[in-house]
Amino acid sequence: MNAANDNRPVLMSPKEAAAETSLSRQLLMLMAKEGQFPAPVLLGERRQAYVRAEVIGWINTRIAARAHRAA
């Protein structure tokens, strides 16, 4: 997927990231704190979002790791 041709926003809400990964928002936050998931971007005092390309990259890395384990 080429981000330059993607009409989707660069950032995604925690709810969108949870839906994209099929993990809960709480688990994503815990994983981010432990360095196991991309850290969110702070947009304001009480607002944060994830960089879409980083989330998609994380998913793709997990898929690739599956292929390596099966080989």
CA angle at 60 for the pair 56 and 65, rounded to the nearest 5°: 150
What's this model's pTM, rounded to 2 decimal places? 0.83
Stretch 34-44: mean pLDDT:
97
Average confidence score pLDDT of the chain: 91
Detail the DSSP E strand segments found in 1-71: 11-12, 41-44, 47-51
CATH topology of domain 3-70: Multidrug-efflux Transporter Regulator; Chain: A; Domain 2 (1.10.1660)
- Categorize the per-residue pLDDT at 4 as very low, low, confident or very high, splitting at 50, 70 and 90: low
**Is 70 exceeded by the pLDDT of residue 31?**
yes
**Is 90 exceeded by the pLDDT of residue 36?**
yes
Assess contact for 42 and 36: CB atoms under 8 A: no
Q: b vs e for 8-39, b when ≥16 Cβ sit within 10 Å of the residue's Cβ?
A: eeebbebebbbebbeeeeeebbebbeeeebbe
Domain ranges of the chain: 3-70
**Is 60 exceeded by the pLDDT of residue 22?**
yes
**Is 80 exceeded by the pLDDT of residue 67?**
no
